[in-house]
A and B are shown apart, each in its own frame.
Chain A
Amino acid sequence: MLEQIEGSLGVAKAVALCRPGVVCAYPISPQTHIVENLGKFVKNGELKDCDFLNVESEFSAISVSIGSEVGGARTYTATASQGLLFMTEGIYSASGLGLPIVMTVASRAIGGPINIWNDHSDSLSQRDSGWLQLFCESNQDAVDTHIMAFKIAEKVGLPVMVCMDGFVLTHAFERLDIPSQETVDKFLKPYEPKEYLNTKEPVSIGAMVGPEAFTEVRLLQQRKMAKALDVIEEVTKEYRELTGSKSGGLLDCYNCENADLKLIILGSTVGTAKDEIDRLKAEGINVGIISLKSFRPFPYAAIKEAIGDTKQVICVERAFSFGARGIICPEVKRAVEGTSCDVKTVVAGLGGRPIFGTTINGIVKDALAGKFTEEFTFFDVNADVLNSYTQKHEGVTFNKGPINQSAIEKSVKA
């Protein structure tokens, strides 16, 4: 049914349609509206046979989720930013125990300095945690991806983070097509855990594993991730056939035929970029967009295929690794290793700095003009703000415009 509603409400409705047995809530912006709505659905009886727990921290939110999944109940929780970091120990425990929890990460910057606005530093900080990480382009994508996520998680036997941009998506009112309960019931059967704690067949879960078997346990986890690539595609296909939706998948290509340049983007920026790419096309500039949906597992083969013959790729990244460089770019380089494709990182949109059409326009034109001479460039940096500090304290001045890694290094030696 078509509804004009807030993204968070859409996600809450999607989660409720999946009939979770336990929902765990702890407030942190910008995910809070999702669990508020779910709490309401449980209390007013729309979501039946579900326990809604208000816990005292994110660490307990993930821990309650671990307990309820171990007990065989389909489980959902949501978090963001500091909350995700506070969960971290439990994040690893959940994936190590193979528990198919579904959790929304309403992506938000990490402090300090504290910042509540959107970038991808929270979710990407958990890239090695053994969770699947599925990014959403739009609120419709988020609604559909949450429904698919339960099926993917339960088929693979690993937890899934559904990453949607905080505020930009969670708080945006859009037209959403919410599938009917009948459709979702057809798609997603009641949860039948393969192994869970029960008194009929007692098992010990979470034993201490030493050097004699730890490597093998880890290899089996990596094997599940390999399986996840196929499962994501299968489940997406099934869901699209059932609902006519265009959501999900490992990645999505836009205008990728004969593009001179391709941008790889995660999340809501894709929508902005698509509009700008259409405008650029009128100017005769042919740019493709690869919307990376599945960051973990990373779809190396699909990325290679999507890049095709294109010689220039820019990863527009909303997070980076301190002391190193981009996070997406090295993965893409691995995917195209041995080809002559040039892959670079452009950092933009940190801590909620908006990525406008003009930002995308600037990135495209600079890229095509060969202005990105290095792998790592801060694009939308404001030299005035920077200089107001560095000039006063160190006598160092940055030029206006994008700042690349060697400019940063040079400024230290000056």
Chain B
Amino acid sequence: MLEQIKFYQTGSNTVGNRLLNPAMRTIQASTDRPNGLISGHRACQGCGEALGARYAIDAALKATNGQLMVVNATGCLEVFSTPYPESAWKLPWVHSLFGNAAAVGSGLAAAAQVLAKRNGDANAPRIIAQGGDGGTTDIGFGALSGMFDRNDDVLYICYDNEAYMNTGVQRSSATPPSARTATTQLVGDHPGADWGKGKDLPLIAMAHGIPYVATATVADLRDLENKVTKAMSFHGARYIQILVPCPLGWGLASNSTVSAARMAMETGFFPVYEAEYGKITSVRKIRQKQPVLNYLKMQRRYAHLTGKKADPNVVARLQALCDANIKNFGLLGDDEPNAPVAIQAYERSQAV
């Protein structure tokens, strides 16, 4: 829906909210907002994860008419929202471990369905399991893949800030190449994170053939809300990965969280799309293509690539990555990408 917009605020690539019709505007505050994650929590200034979680959970609360329960992996979101005896969650919420949120979600969904059936209740509460990229792509990966495999009725949301921020910014398998983290420091011949490592979890999720997979960022909150709402219209395993810049970990000004997320989309660094049953169904097109350097310049984790001693070859490689994304996902043209689909997707789409 947002693809049709052709006007932007000067200098920021922002779609002018006031220029949109009311149905398409992003709403910060309104009386019917569920406020599942309320203010007063201990997130850092400019936290992308807090912003992403607030919009995702509120959209899901609306979509389920409040029949929602949340499982949280260990991580920033868990720590800053529930220091005993306080809680910033106004909905049923549980935290068990770092690597088991998806499995706890499966168990909770099973219990909710069994209890609803016993009580003759037609609508069992729905389940969201959520965690950061470390809890999702690394330590929680096995449990997540198992949840996808069983097609359990859980929406898993990964708040991707591309490193282990809660423990002090260490590399995860979602950390991009050349990025500085505490375990990929800016020393030696190849400063920052190694090239040729990491994994693409949205594509891995799609390879499970599950009903719905999407990526989103905190720069397009309405798009994020729409995707969460859409995800809740499906039953079975679903996955949304939201890019949530971390001012502390990325070395980003705390008022640039949204700008950085937008730049990640406009450069092709983070492709935004959605897929149903393993097949990409829509792609968020780049509006005003930006060179990757503009994205790197905003962040001190890439300071070694933008100063006088910067290696232009590395910047060129990062630009090539973005260009590959643009080509593979069709981020500029009118075409949607056409890739092979897991056979499990056929199986699941027929079952529904």
Contact = CB atoms under 8 A, between A and B. Distances in A.
A67 B105 contact: yes
B108 A71 contact: yes
Contacts of B85: 207, 213
A202 B90 contact: yes
Contacts of A213: 84-85
Contacts of A73: 110-111, 114-115
A73 B86 CA distance: 26
B90 A72 contact: no
A64 B103 CA distance: 5
Interface residues of A, number: 43
Given A199-B91, A205-B93, A67 B111 contact: yes
Interface string A172-216: 000000000000000000000000011100111111111001000
A54 interface: yes
Interface stretch (A45-53, A250-258, A392-400): A45-53
Most buried by A among B84, B96, B118, B150: B96
B143 interface: yes
Given A56-B145, A60-B143, A210-B84, A21 B115 contact: yes
Most buried by B among A22, A24, A70, A197: A197
Most buried by B among A65, A70, A206: A206
A203 B89 CA distance: 8
B125 A199 contact: yes
A97 B145 CA distance: 25
Interface string A306-323: 000000000000000000
Contacts of A57: 142-143, 146
A197 B82 contact: no
A102 to B, nearest CB: 14
A205 B69 CA distance: 11
Interface in A29-62: 49-51, 53-57, 59-60, 62
Given A59-B99, A59-B142, A60-B143, A53 B93 contact: no
A75 interface: yes
Contacts of B113: 51
Given A56-B143, A63-B97, A22 B107 contact: yes
B114 A67 contact: no
Contacts of A352: none
Given A56-B145, A207-B87, A72 B106 contact: no
A64 B62 CA distance: 26
Interface of A: 21-22, 24, 49-51, 53-57, 59-60, 62-73, 75, 89-90, 93, 97, 197-199, 202-210, 213
